Structure 1
Amino acid sequence: MMVPVALMLLGALTAFVAPRLLSRVDWPDREPVVALWAWQCVVAAVLLCCALSMTLSAAAAWQAVRGHLFAPAPRPVVEAYALGAAGGPWAAATAVALALAGLWSGAMLVREVVRARARGRQRRAELLVRAPLLPGEEPGGGPLVVLEGERPDAWWLSGATPRLVITTAALRRLKGRQLDAVVAHEQGHAQARHDWLLHCSAALAAGFPQVPVFAAFRDEMHRLVELAADDMASRRFGRLTTALALVELNEGRGVFGPGPAAQAHVTQRVHRLLAPPDRLTAARRLRLTATAALIPVVPLLVAFVPGLRALGQ
């Protein structure tokens, strides 16, 4: 039973240490795409620790599971895990608890996706009311929808036929290439499928509110996807243009005024665009990406090392 316990301890250590390390370094704001990858690897490692611990605990508790799991393995490999002697109520309870947690995570993800699709249907219905189809026009025919509105706004409506929705107030305020920058920002979200990152992080945070790593994962996803989309727009149309577009879209919402604002992160995004931090070198980006990719490998090594060691003897 030592390997399942080691995996649980490793998962807890990863969940505790990794977010604190990521919050102390300065490169996530400089390289949001790499930071997105690193956070995904951390969460994947935590979930992998739980999944492997559940599997081995079930093998320790029930002979039927052990027989199927180690059916092709030679006897020394099975003995290396000492699962038969470690079985019992603790192994069964651990396996059942982790299995229920996995089912709960899946249910939370399904709920999040269903709610997102319901919100999408509602927004499409509202869009159809505000921008009715003209005679001969097919539903979802165009990728761009212009709405009459006094508030400057623009958003990407995902779905089978993604569409960019922009208000007439935004068209009046955005000048020149600023509109192109807004379009590029929203396209960046769509191309990178940021909506799935937000769904997964929201599902984990809602399903396990007592686990700080999942709440931090959700908050960082919301922040980093915006920074990544800003960078995509600024690379095509310039940082000043993108910053001015952000100001024009959010100036009337009290974001830049005195006192706390609901969207205070917009101010930070504008400052970041106007005073951009130096990007990391390509070599360091590659090292960080490779290092992050190794994080989920550690649970696999912990799980398989006893068997591999037994095979090598």
Structure 2
Amino acid sequence: MMLSLALLLLGALAAVVAPRLLARADWREREPVVALWVWQCVVAAVLLSFALSMVFSAAATWASVRGHVFASAPRGVVRAYALDGHRPWSAALAIVLACGGVWTAWMLTREIHRSRRRRRARRKELLVRSPLLPGEVPGEEPLVVLEGDRPDAWWLPGTAPRLVITTAALRRLKDRQLDAVLAHEEGHARAHHDWLRHCAGALANGFPQIPVFAAFRDEIHRLVELAADDSASRRFGHRTIALALVELNEERGVFGPAPTPDAELPQRVNRLLSPVPRLAPAHRLRLTAAAALVPAVPLIVALVPGLRALG
């Protein structure tokens, strides 16, 4: 079953080559939203290639699977896929890829479970640090202010996303800077960036040997912050959100000579203070359309024998 091998090799090639090509793209910093879309399309193409390879391998091995996959297909189409000749490696390939699919589902389920558990713990911590007033219903308030000496603000995802900010941040940030920080966090909530992080983390943790998944996780964490920065800067200006980031993180030593876990923050501030013009709308549209076609490649490869038979 050469089609299964072709799809498997296509997925492996995309998993190796795509991160290198995207790393060379000089437009990612200028258009983080488009870059996020391109990454999602590439990962979808890789997963779809492996899934289709599993389906055709299983169809070549077991007649029951073949009957379901080609239930309404003409006999000429079935013959075009040459599924009658059973080969031992087809069963092995189908089983290995099926195990990979089950493992992916398990890792994603575990990631979602862990995130929910962390979210519940943080919400309980909020109730301790900011107890409800008489008659107040939990979860009604979209903004929570906490007493704290450290300036900080973060977004707590969930069915009702909440923005949390400390009193130290309120003292340090000016009016427009505070609005810019809140707009940044609202940008995360509006775009559901938490789901992107969960999916990227599950794939990278489940398959650390596959380069595209590790690169996807690293790029997602960076690009969602750039996208939220841009969302806030369009409303309040690049300088405002840049100064707000400095005010919130200056005491953490982020902008010192020694490297820190938040080493990307100085790069984000420099990017905001020296903004590069966005790509032309037509260029953005071409990139978006081209990325949308990437998952179609394994589908076209899978349909070629059947289309030839029908033609």
- What TM-score results when the alignment is normalised by the length of structure 2? 0.99
Distance across 1 between alignment mates of 2:141 and 2:175: 22
Match of 2:149 in 1: 150
Deviations 1:218-275 (A, max 9, x none): 0000000000000000000000000000001110111001111110101100000000
Asked if structure 1 preserves the Cα contact closer than 8 Å seen for 2:108 and 2:198, the reply is: yes
Q: Distance in 1 between matches of 2:195 and 2:132?
A: 30
**1:36 corresponding residue in structure 2:** 36
Paired residue type of 2:68: H
Once the two structures are TM-superposed, the CA of residue 66 in structure 1 deviates from its matched residue by 0.9
Paired residues for 1:39-188 under 5 Å:
39-85=39-85, 87-188=86-187
Give the Cα–Cα distance (whole angstroms) in 2 for the partners of residues 245 and 122 of structure 1.
Answer: 28
Structure 1 counterpart SS, 2:73: coil
Letter in 2 for 1:298: V
For residue 278 of structure 1, what is the amino acid of its counterpart? P
Distance 1:262 1:195 in 2: 20
Aligned to 2:245: 246
Post-superposition offset of 1:19: 0.9
Q: Secondary structure at the match of 1:60?
A: helix
> Structure 1 stretches of 5 or more lacking a match?
none
Give the Cα–Cα distance (whole angstroms) in 1 for the partners of residues 127 and 181 of structure 2: 23
Paired residues, number: 311
Secondary structure of residue in 2 paired with 1:145: strand
Question: SS of the residue aligned with 1:198?
Answer: helix
CA distance in 2, matches of 1:165, 1:287: 38
Partner residue in 2 for 1:19: 19
Equivalent residue for 1:213? 212
Paired amino acid for 1:306: P
Q: How does 1:291-310 map to 2 (within 5 A)?
A: 291-310=290-309
Deviation at 1:89, TM superposition (A): 1.8
Secondary structure, aligned partner of 1:156: strand
**Which structure 2 residue ranges, 5 or more long, are not aligned?**
none
Moved over 2 A (4+): none
Partners of 1:59 and 1:82 lie apart in 2 by: 10
Deviations 1:66-116 (A, max 9, x none): 11211211111111111112x232101111111110010011001000000
Deviation by residue 1:184-239 (Cα, 9 ceiling, x = unmatched): 00000000000000000000001001111100000000000000000000000000
Give, in angstroms, the shift of residue 161 of structure 1. 2.3
Paired residue type of 1:114: H
CA distance in 1, matches of 2:64, 2:142: 55
